[in-house]
Structure 1
């Protein structure tokens, strides 16, 4: 019995709460389940409300969106608790009971937060469609008029715009799309969706949901259709489906039957009239251009002067005739003849065109032969191959310019030389392909591509026609398994299966016989593993791209035998932890392991004497073993981000042009600087000191169009180093988590950093001012364009002007304010600085003439943005300040009383965005709107949106300018 008594004493020692948790675990679990059910019911009610708001064109509030995420997160936590409850031991019951009680409180708290008495949505943007920049289509006036009448009338709900590839269907409908986007009284929304040959119902649903910004679409096709149908049911919409190849059911996708409502229109464009007829469309056929229209389009594209045209008129007439009124042929052929005024060359071009068209019969191939004329005029085989390479991407895919150039480098299409020279060569080729109208400029902001190109689908078909059996391209076709062996040809040289995210498995023992294969692209295929036998018969493989296979954990050892491999690309393979030996890959020039899970440097990397480009970034990879980097001495690009390296070893890499790495201390950075002897890389991003837990640009791929020159210091030795450590052309400086860092004055390190454009200071606990003019001037601030200040808990002022003293009855200062201390500043971002009360004194305004954006966020004590003393404006009239201001964001400032002192106003002529949220003490808006002829204020032409909240607080705020609030009211969006 002694052990029983001892046990009881042990239990008592834990205290009554522990005993209760142990004894009442089942009761607590039942309570938790009930509370979670109530929480999920409230979540479903809110979702129903949101669906109703969606139909009225409103958007979910950010706080509601965050609340839904909290519900989902706590739901997952409760599931884990349920699993623990099923197998809980006697000894663990008390601990689990305590955890259950904590989650009961958490669930109750989230439930209370989900009341949202002010509503769940805010007004959506007024724009009903997405403007698509395009040229005004030449000719086709009758067709445009007919389509427009059908769209504006009530009799025709489904319209099919048909015609051969390259006839101008897409250009025509882009023009109509932009017109429809202005018809706010006719439609609530105008959607443009590119369908393409490789599309299916699932992808079409995904594209429509992305366009509508619908989140969390279900995985089940029927449920997805129901969600889309529910969203669109109450709306008036025009839906343009571009490049349709097969008949499909609108209802299967989730598109309500347009025949049942006057407010719905669906337009298809297709090369196949039968597809449109089968989908009950009224067919509108796009005809070739007239002789006049063809000639106008050709002359605009070729750029000949009137005098030149008169000399070549007869030949040009015949060249244009050969184009048969096909706009794509016209602009492509014209582009290839741009700048040519030699009559012999024109005669030769005409002869080539006539011979091509006579030699073929099928219409598609006839078009290809016309377009191939421009391809042949590229002359240089490498440029031709650069063009053909673009067909390896999916149809209608926007390709990032710098990424495409990297691909060309990997393929060996840009020759050898420095990285910078190869990128310059690549840009030149891209410009030429655009000038020949073989590629067009494009962007895809949702994928972060702001500078890209794409191929017209007919030109892509033409490229694949030229490549023939040498290319096997099944990109973006939603494949679930590899193509059948009947589709494999021994002669194939390039295989692209990219963007097939459901191709998760390659069967074991499969071994494609591709002895001539040089390029294999399996990017973003969802692969989980690759069998050992897969690479057995690919002895000539040079480029292997396995990027963005997020679940790929290891590579087969057979990769070690690919001794002709030039580029191995594994960026974005997050789960990849194992790399086979690289000893035999002596031809390897590029190894990209960015954003992988590798824990150590791959075996044999020091043997890769030809390696020019090494990119490794993994949270598990802490450092590079000594003596490895000096052995791969030809590196031009080294990207290892937060992985620590020795300064002297990196400094020995004399050919480095782009480098991103981290040094453990200022001492290591000094060693690197000494080794370079002032010869800094073209582009660099360094972290110096202890690693911090937030990211800079260290993870991103180099973009040689935008050179980075950035250093981040987290080392407290920063004040002891002179300017020889930092490159004079430094552009971006970050100082983070250095408690004894006080201000930028008297920092020898930066005295000669005359190109500094961006300065970021974060988490420096003892900093009270950024620059102290009572000590000295700070020249590096003259050229600063962007200033970020974050979590400086003791910051009192950005600029300390100086201590004022009386000299001969005059008020003067030890340090008069330099007139242009911030003369180049465009963006000021101040966040989470809890003690600062005033942002800028008015004395500094003469140096803020270029300030375009001010953001002040979560500064608890902030009272005033621009401060003027009484003597500054005593007896004076209104003074206008910040003449170029475009964006003003004031968020979570509980004590903010004014934006600027009385007598000061900000001209709003350039204003684009105004955001004032949770600033309860703010009573006036000192913005001066432009005036029209009658002296009344009008909205600035640049004004886009005004975000405010809460609504009741905003309505009590007054503008200094009469009638201003009413004038801007159409631009106001309420956030809370």
Structure 2
């Protein structure tokens, strides 16, 4: 039987030991309960402190657009649960510890409940201690994946920029366009346009991985640009702080090379070396894009932009829309007269959005006509005094002025403010005045002229001047106001302008004290006489042109010892200069063009410092004292084109010109073959001649074109009333070849031929590739402009690549009774803007290809016939 069942033998000692351990442990739960509760409270407090420290780190990270880690959030949740459970345990403390206790606590009526309570306390004590240890996190948050586009605030939809926006947006879809430049003057809306482009990516389907916005600003720091790009593509601040510039560039390049990105750079003032920053150059393979804004057109070239767009001022219609939105309908409707006054204010802003917005806001609550009238007066008199203009508009525009690289550029810009609002400034005259002012003193001969044109180019590129055409520039009204603010207020001690140009003044005496003024402009008024002799010892510039001056008192210039530039031009009632002009011993530029003066006073000899003398279109000038012109040893510029209607330019004058060693710019009228021959004998005079007028030749000779072609800088040629001049002849193909090889007539832009009765054709014009204006009138024997027969004679040598009239913009043919055709060959006039044909009864064909003159205005005998001619393939009857 013993093999069938076995008996388990329990160890009495082991059982007893386990029983005693359990009993002791339970007894310990009971006996140390109060100590354990104290320890739990302490441990909980430590855990809460750890939790609070952790939360501060989390909140700081979240303020930096980071996301707390899941394990951190789990830990915080567990701490919260423990805090709740411990709170509940502590609420039961008095119930379990103080009630129903007997000696040592072992006789409690609810011993089991006390034991379970003590067990929970020990358990929570361990949990709290463990959680505290687990709360030691190195990182509490991580960066969120960046949104492809960050929406940027924009006040409203762009007004008047829609067309430019559409063009730029289309370029962003072109594979061949990687870099796009947006340029324009300050306050014109470039940043608004770029912001609209940024936000367009938010609601337009595209495959770009990231759109990055960086404001470069005037105080460009390439490290700052790198930092902004680095943050946008996910590099941590610690990394950006700790690594070298080159290491960060390498990291940025690696990341961005794998992305299709759009980089929007706002307000750059100089080239940003993006390769140095780490930005890959866009190419068709990666199809990324870079769009930047700048006030300086040259920057577009420096940035290797594939496409450039000028952001221009608004049209009047768009200006009115923008202004209305700022003023508000309630104000505009508050009085019947306000609407018309508001339109005047809009005109004063000249389409500049920044000015329209600023002034519109300022006028939003002005509901009486008197307030609006006063506002117009302030804007016209001194716009800087208008609310917010001197604080919000001009300082922003002044950044462009301050960014000019030297004081000469800044002085040349301010000088343009001497002209009236919206005035077309002749570049050539402007440079003459700059030479007289001494702005170009460090340059000699042609260098001074070239430097002047270079400066104009810089100011155009900086969007501080606007191009009217090849010869004229203008200054935006708000830029002009800013310039006057600088010259009259900000830099008054240095510049000190007084400008009352185009204000309708009838008397100069209405002007306040001239003393202390450095530059004074009274041009384009109605001043008829100068009765006082003002004391202005510091005056350097005086503009009195385009008035109604009939006489100037002899002592008027007596107290102007520092005057350097005197402009009296286009005073058609001015017949003489006062002998007292000899007091202007510092004068360097004298402009009397377009006046009716009859003679130059011998007292001009005192003007030893004269550098520029302009006598153009002085049609009644019939006497120049002998040796007067040669008495100006420093003369750089002499302009005598269409000078002297009643007498010829004497041969002795040509001789005098030979002795002017510093002469490098000349325009002149010659009235005899003898004078012309003497003139052509001088290589120096030929070289410096820019405009030549041949008038009233009374003998019969043929003029060899080759002699005129040697004037390499000739830009304008008049041949007037040379009734016996037989022709301008190209004698043989070899002469034609010489003209071609030496770039003869390469600079000729304007030709005016009138009353030359023996001319039959003007075939030599094929050698003038840059002709823009042709005016031929009253040449009775002209049968064709370009003779095919003469053209054939030289075609094999020189004319295969000639494109006659390729740059022609204006063509006038009138009173040519025998003209049959312009040319037997069909010509392309791709730049032609206007053609006027009148009193040419035999002309049946214009030789135009209709497609080449699609946008040209063509007038035949005063009637516009452009569409008919285009439709008829060039036929005219």
Using the size of structure 1 for normalisation, the TM-score is 0.44
More strand by share: 1
